[in-house]
Structure formats: C-alpha cells, structure tokens
Amino acid sequence: MIPKENAHLDIAAITHPGMSGKNNEDRYGVSAHILSEKTPTPSLLAIVADGIGGHQAGEIAAEIVVETISSSVADSRADDPPGILEKAIIDAGQAVHAQSTSSATQQGMGSTCACVWMIGSRLYTASVGDSRIYLLRNGEIRQISVDHTWVQEAIEFGIIAPDQARGHPQAHIIRRYLGSKKATEADFRIVLEAGQSNEQAIANQGMQLQPGDGLVLCSDGLTDLVDDDEILAALEQNSLEDGIQKLVDLANKRGGHDNITIVTLKIPKVEKSPEPQKKKPHSKALWIAGILAAILTFLIIVALAFFAWRFTRPLATPSPITQETLPAVVETAVPATQTLEPAPTLTPTVQNTPIRQTYTPWPTSTP
C-alpha cells in the first residue's frame, strides 16, 4: 500500500497516564494509505495496545505490538484483511515473547490490542484481551468486540450476571494477550446483535459502515470507570476532540486508577451540493434582445398597416353600359349600378413570445 498524509475518516486520539502515578503503558497508532496507484481506495488502520508486566516492560510490549501490526498491514496488498490481521497479530505476539525472554527485567511482559482496519467504508476488526471496540450508530452505542477475561467467560456460562462484572475481584484477569508462549489467537467477531452466534459475528467482517457511523477503540482505563451511555453522550454532544477529552477527565475524576487511551473514528456525513445558480443574462445580450424586439414590433405594425390599407380602400367605379355593348337579346335586366358591401377589415392576431484531518496521526503515541 502507499502511505497518505490525509485520512478519509475524521479522527481524534488521546492517551493519559491516569491519576495513580504509574507509567503510561498504553500505546496507539493510526496510519492512512491507499491500496495502490491503480486502485486508490483509501485505507485506515487504528490500534490501541495496553501493555502489561509492570516497570518499563508493559510499554515496550505495547510499542512492539503497535509497530509490528502497523508495518505488516502497510506492507500488504490488502487482498485478505482478516488473514493479514491474523498473521500480523501472531507475529507481534512472537516478537513480544522473544523480547521478554531476552531480558530479565522484561520477562512476562505482554499486551492487549484492539485493531480497526477501514478499507473504503468496509470494516475489519481484530482484538486480543480487554481493550474494546465500540460502534456508534443512530444515537446508540454497542460494544462489537468481546472481552477475553475471566469475568466475560463467567457471564457467558451464567456464573455471574452482567451487572456483577464491574468491580468484580477477578475483573482484570485476562485470558488472552500478546506475548504468551503459545501463538496468539485473535478474535474476529463483530457482535452487532445480542444472541448472534460466533459464525454470524465473524461473518460481519467487511460490513459496510454508513455516513455518520462512529468507532471507538479504548483501553480498560476508560471502560472500568465510564459507562457506555456516557461514552455515547460525550461523543454525540461534542466534537471528537472535546468528547474524548471529557471522557478522560471523567475517568480521572472517578479515580483514574489506570492509563486511559481512546481513538475515535467517524465516517463523514455526505453533504448535499448547493444547486447551481442560474446565470443572469449579460447586459449586452439584453441590449441586443431589446433591439430585436423593437425591430419585430416595427415590422408587425407595418404589416398591420399594409393589410388595413389593402382591404379597406374604395373599389374602382365600373364603366357605364351602353347599347353597343349589350348583346342582341337580353332576357334578364341588369341594374344600372351594383352596390357592393365593403370588405371586412382583417386584424391579424399577434402572439407575444416571452422573450453550487484530517491527518495521518502518529504511528505510535508519546506518553
């Protein structure tokens, strides 16, 4: 693919270490491309990665994840988005694991990831861990990714109710992450409705987004403290930049116990082009039209006068009839004079013819 400076979607991103005093171990990246010179379809990749492992190790793992996945996608031909994302995530997990085994201070480090790849208006996603992806559409918000946590599994098996998830003592036990010994298993489900099977959710890959649709990628530092409805309200009632800042402020106001990272994307609405204004006739054209109208009027008047004269003039007096001009035998008498009724004046009927940022942010963020 070919890198581009400007993205075809509206973008806003923010990261904050939170209020606990810990290092910011979150990383994110946004990169824009076109598929090729012959196929200038726009592409946009957004990633949020939440490092785990403590000290400096978590942020190193998150940075490896963002850079590896971004590079893999950029070097691809975008011919199989889910397959490309799957390989990129496996490679990123292996790179994190290799780095963690090479240093005693980095052993056990890992990272979550939430990936959104937009090709034109088609959506492809992949996720590992508890960093989330939301879809905002028609005034509603839905989490379309699935958390890979003990709590989520307990909900799915009916062990706990959904309203017991927040604040549960095992809420942050992650069941999948990048950097483990075994190959990382990415999740490609896009859950659009409650009760969808895994097959139905996976089949949503490549779905067409609509103008006005929004996407939110975020780390659990936001979702632990801010409800889904509050995320929706902040982004619906403000610009993208102001909305994500309000969300960070709200999470910090409620304790900010973890790093907070948000990337939001929005499909621009189609604006109707203004109707083209009718051009006013040029003054010269008006002047010429006036002259032609005057000439036409003059010709009509002349024609009317001619016809009036032609049909109303007196007829010539006939010559008197003499005896010499009469035939020999006259059986019917002819009056000496003949009275003719004057011809009607013809008045022709005259008909008057009416004479109309976007930008490519950073591949990785700076804490």
List pLDDT tens digits, range 180-204: 998 899 999 999 999 899 999 999 9
**pLDDT band for position 310 (50/70/90)?**
low
Token pair recorded at residue 288: 């010429």
Phi-psi region of 145 (alpha: psi -120 to 50; beta: other; left: phi over 0): beta
Other beta carbons within 10 angstroms of residue 297's beta carbon come to 12
Compute the distance between CA of residue 89 and CA of residue 115 in angstroms, rounded to an integer: 10
Q: Span 92-110, mean pLDDT?
A: 93
> Quick check: 76 pLDDT over 50?
yes
Interior angle at CA 330, CA 326 and CA 334, nearest 5: 75
Cβ burial 274-286 (10 Å sphere, 16+ → b, else e)? eeeeeeeeeeeee
Structure tokens at 326: 């009469």
**Per mean pLDDT, which range of 58-67, 167-176, 227-236 is the poorest?**
167-176
The H or E element that residue 286 is part of is: helix 283-312
Per-residue pLDDT band at 306 (split at 50, 70, 90): low
* Mean pLDDT rounded to a whole number for the chain: 84
pTM, whole model, 2 decimals?
0.75
DSSP 183-200: PP--B-----STT--HHH
Check residue 284 and give its pLDDT: 65
Centroid of chain to Cα 10: 9
Q: Is 45 in contact with 78 (CB distance < 8 Å)?
A: no
